[in-house]
Amino acid sequence: MQFLTDTTKSLPATVPFVGPEALERQLGIRFKARIGANESTFGPSPQVLEAMAKAAVDSWAYGDPEQFELKEALAHHHGVKPENIAVGEGIDGLLGLTVQLTVVPGDKVVTSAGAYPTFNYHVNVHGGELSFVPYLDDREDPQALLIRTRDIRPKLLYFANPDNPTGSWHQAEEVTRLMDEIPEETLLILDEAYSDLAPHGSLPPLEPLRPNVLRYRTFSKAYGMAGVRVGYVIGQAGLISQFDKVRNHFGVSRMAQAGAIAALNDQAFLHETVAAIHNARETLNNIARDAGLLPLPSATNFVAIDCGRDGAYARALLQAVLRQGVFIRMPGIAPLDRMIRVTVGKPDEMEMFRAALKAALQEVE
C-alpha cells in the first residue's frame, strides 16, 4: 500500500450515503416504497424517455465530449453563454472536480454542520480542513457563515439554497449579500440542486456572474433523472474553462445528453411535476401532523419531520420504518438528527409511508 498518499491512507473506506440497495441486502427485504434519496418517483418526461431510447441505438459511440448541443440548450434556457456552463456527472461529480481544482492539503473550507456530506467527502479526499458552522433554527446561517469566512479566509465556502437536509431556503437578498460580502479569495460553492422547486424570490439572478461564485444545478431532482447523472455549473467563463483541465470528457453519455436536452424542451412536464410535488408535500405534512410529529417548511421534494425527541429516538423510528419496507433517511448531525427525512411521492407511496410510520411509532413507544 506504499503507493497510496498519506491522505488516502488516513481515510475510511466509505461512501457518503448508504444506498437503498445496500439496506435491502442488510435487512433481507425489498422496499415497496423508495422515498429516501430525494429522487423523483414522478419520473422524467416521456419526451426524455423517447430521446434516450433513440440515443441508445447509437450508444456504441461516445457522447460529444464538448456537450455542445446541451450547453447551447442550457445557455438559452438560463440566458447566459455556453462558455458560462460546465456539464458533469451530477452535482456530486462537479463538486469533486471543483475541490480537485482548488484544494490542496491544509486549505480551509467552510460549510454548515449537517449540510450535504458529499461535499465534505471530496474535501477530505484532497486534505482540506473543514470548518463547521451550526444551523440556526434548522436553517443554514448565512450571517454566521460569512463571519467564519471573514475570520479564517477559507479557499471554499459551501452554501445550499434550498437546503438539504432540512428543506429550508433563504430569500434572494440574503444570498446576494453573501455573494457580495465574502472575501475575494474565497470561492462560494452555491448548491442550487433544488432550484426548480425554489419559491419565488429565493434565487438571485444569474447575472452578473461573479469571479468567485459557482452555481450548481441538476436534472436529478425536479426533472426526475437522478439515475442518468447530469448536472451543470454556471459561472464566469474564465473559471468555468478550468473544468476542461480535469473533467472526464466522455463522462456524460450520449443518452444522458439527449435526455437532458429533451427535458429542457418539455417545460410543461416540469411544471406539472412541480405541482405534483407541491401537492404531495402537503399530503406528507398532514401525515406527519396526524402522527403527532412536526413537519418543517420545505422548498424541496422532501420534508424533514421533527420527531420531538433526540437522535436516538429518531434513529429507532427510522429503523422501524425501514423494517416496514419503506426507505427513508435522516440527518446525521445533532441537533438535526432528531428528524427523519421523507421524499414526496405518488399517492400510493405516501399511503405506504403513512401505514409504515403508524406501525413504527407503535413499535418504538
pLDDT tens per residue across span 352-361? 999 999 999 9
pLDDT tens per residue across span 136-156? 999 999 999 999 999 999 999
Backbone angles phi and psi of 194, in degrees to 5: -100, 25
Mean confidence (pLDDT) of the chain? 97
**What pairs with residue 109 in β-bridges?**
130, 156
Q: Residue 34 is inside which H or E element, if any?
A: strand 33-34
Q: Is the pLDDT of residue 16 over 80?
A: no
Nearest to 132 by CA among 150, 105, 157, 169: 157
At 206 the pLDDT is 97
Percent of the chain at pLDDT > 90 equals: 95
At 23 the pLDDT is 93
Q: Is the pLDDT of residue 15 over 80?
A: no
DSSP 156: E
What value does the mean pLDDT take over residues 115-130?
96
Distances in whole angstroms, Cα of residue 195 to Cα of each of 160, 169, 204, 219, 299 = 10, 10, 11, 10, 9
Q: How confident is the model at residue 42 (pLDDT cuts 50, 70, 90)?
A: very high
Nearest to 311 by CA among 338, 284, 331, 291: 338
Q: Is the pLDDT of residue 109 over 90?
A: yes
Say how far apart CA 365 and CA 362 lie, in whole Å. Answer: 6
**Whether the Cβ atoms of residue 186 and residue 149 lie closer than 8 Å to each other:** yes
Say how far apart CA 251 and CA 361 lie, in whole Å. Answer: 44
At 267 the pLDDT is 98
Q: Name 328's Cβ contacts closer than 8 Å, sequence gap at least 6.
A: 35, 36, 318, 321, 322, 340, 341, 342, 343, 353
Q: Name 75's Cβ contacts closer than 8 Å, sequence gap at least 6.
A: 81, 82, 84, 85
Nearest to 233 by CA among 74, 63, 31: 74
Q: Name 330's Cβ contacts closer than 8 Å, sequence gap at least 6.
A: 165, 314, 315, 318, 337, 339, 340, 341
What value does the mean pLDDT take over residues 85-91?
98
Domains of the chain: 18-43+268-364 (3.90.1150.10), 46-265 (3.40.640.10)
Say how far apart CA 73 and CA 81 lie, in whole Å. Answer: 10
Q: Which three cell numbers stand for residue 286?
A: 398532514
pLDDT tens per residue across span 217-230? 999 999 999 999 99
Which 3 state secondary structure label does DSSP give 132?
Answer: strand
pLDDT tens per residue across span 160-199? 999 999 999 999 999 999 999 999 999 999 999 999 999 9
Nearest to 360 by CA among 313, 303, 309: 313
At 1 the pLDDT is 77
At 11 the pLDDT is 85
At 30 the pLDDT is 96
pLDDT tens per residue across span 261-309? 999 999 999 999 999 999 999 999 999 999 999 999 999 999 999 999 9
Say how far apart CA 130 and CA 124 lie, in whole Å. Answer: 8
What value does the mean pLDDT take over residues 240-255?
97
Q: Is the pLDDT of residue 31 over 90?
A: yes
User: Length of the chain in residues, anyone?
Assistant: 365
Q: How confident is the model at residue 17 (pLDDT cuts 50, 70, 90)?
A: confident
**Whether the Cβ atoms of residue 210 and residue 239 lie closer than 8 Å to each other:** no
Say how far apart CA 239 and CA 216 lie, in whole Å. Answer: 13
What value does the mean pLDDT take over residues 325-349?
97
What is the SS3 string spanning 108-123?
Answer: EEEEECCCCHHHHHHH
Say how far apart CA 43 and CA 273 lie, in whole Å. Answer: 9
At 116 the pLDDT is 96
Distances in whole angstroms, Cα of residue 139 to Cα of each of 102, 143, 207, 219 = 27, 11, 26, 24
